[in-house]
Amino acid sequence: MKIPNLIVFDMDGVLIDVSGSYRETARKTARLFFDGARGFGKLPDPLFPLTDLAELKQTGNLNNDWDLTALTLHLLFALVKTPSGRLSADDSTCPEETIRRYDVSDLADFLNASSRPLMELLDRYGRRHDPFVTSCYQGDVGTGNRIKRIFQEIYLGPSLFTALHGGQPRFYRGEGLIHQESLLMDPTLLADLSRDHILAIATGRPRSEANFPLDRFNLRKYFQLVITLDDCTREEERIFTERGERISLNKPDPYMLDRIPCLIGKGFNECYYLGDMPDDMQAARSSKTGYRGVGVVLSSADPENLRKELLQAGADHIIDDYAALPGILS
């Protein structure tokens, strides 16, 4: 009997097209964060091109889009002014009042004139940290994290937000952008692969948000295991409790990839990890299990640039059409 391969999929950008959901949510969150500031009406809508945001994401160590949104705001705040100079983190006790003291007119002028504003700001300032943005990215949705709350309200929409987080939305009451997600892979191919191989998922999504597309697109039956952000968080807390050390097990750390074979407990031949970010390929390359990294550029706005970055990060294969996948696995 032929020994199966282990094939692990990232979710976003690999199984699910999130260009109209997570990425658009990050962009809308960044703009809505400034609501009430002086000059808010001058800000472009949309705030910046999604290609610019995708390029920022590809710079690495941004495994979830909350972190991507926070970095975006850190960069944008480089051009935000107040009448009396910079605000400190002490001004975060009432963010809505604090926002009204900001003037975003210079930022608006810059955004209206640039085709790559985020990457220009990154080149100019590096991964800067603004104290007010930092103060608004502490805790969780229900404990004062303004950035994460706005993001979740936009992404989930009112009913799902209330179901997952409790309470009513405060910033956004439109339809959740989670409903804009679509399937990138033909379920027929998934069914064929699941008959001959062991399939699993390693995603930076929280489990509650990973469950939504799994159920909506009826995908759960194809996968023997799904590892999510929640699993990383639990292990991080265990390590902190035992050692007093705070670490991150999100990609590019290979924790999720190396955990999967232990939990599945079955023999397999080769192992592959399909991802769409350089962090995914770095995780595959550094794993103890010996994954082969398969870079996926199906939903990228700039597939040629992404292809180069995935190869630089250690990808063994690049695919722009899933029809090529069976040949790689054979």
Single residue among 178, 205, 223 that ends a domain in this structure: 178
Identify whether residues 248 and 165 lie together within a single domain. Answer: no
The H or E element containing residue 159 is helix 146-165
Domain that holds residue 226: 6-18+181-329
Q: Of 108, 105, 103, 97, whose CA–CA distance to 84 is shortest?
A: 103
Verify that 169 and 214 share a domain, yes or no: no
Q: Do 248 and 260 lie in a common domain?
A: yes
**pTM summary value:** 0.89
**How many domains is the chain built from?**
2
Residues 319 and 187 in one domain: yes
Residue 217 shares a structural domain with residue 324: yes
Of 151, 178, 205, the last residue of a domain is 178
CA pseudo-torsion sign 102, 131, 72, 176: negative
Residues 123 and 154 in one domain: yes
**DSSP labels for 167-213?**
S--SS--S--GGGG-EE-S-HHHHHHHHHHSEEEEE-SS-HHHHHHH
Residues 59 and 207 in one domain: no
Q: What are phi and psi of 176, to 5 degrees?
A: -65, 140
- If asked whether residues 194 and 305 sit together in one domain, one would say yes
Q: Who contacts 221 (Cβ-Cβ below 8 Å, separation ≥6)? A: 194
Same domain for 305 and 195: yes
> Residue 64 and residue 62: Cα distance in Å, rounded?
6
Task: Tell me which of 153, 178, 203 is where a domain ends.
Answer: 178
The answer as to whether 1 is a domain residue is: no
Read off φ and ψ for residue 213, nearest 5 degrees. Answer: -70, -30
CATH code (residue 225)? 3.40.50.1000
Residue 50 domain flag: yes
Asked if residue 241 and residue 111 are part of one domain, the reply reads no
In angstroms, rounded to a whole number, what is the distance separating the alpha carbons of residues 264 and 262?
6
The one-digit pLDDT tens for each residue of the chain (330 residues) are: 688 999 999 999 999 999 899 999 999 999 999 999 999 999 999 999 999 999 999 898 887 899 999 999 999 999 998 765 555 545 556 788 889 999 999 999 999 999 999 999 999 999 999 999 999 999 999 999 999 999 999 999 999 999 999 989 999 999 999 999 999 999 999 999 999 999 999 999 999 999 999 999 999 999 999 999 999 999 999 999 999 999 999 999 999 999 999 999 878 999 999 999 999 999 999 999 999 999 999 988 889 999 999 999 999 999 999 999 999 998
Do 174 and 227 reside in the same domain of the chain? no
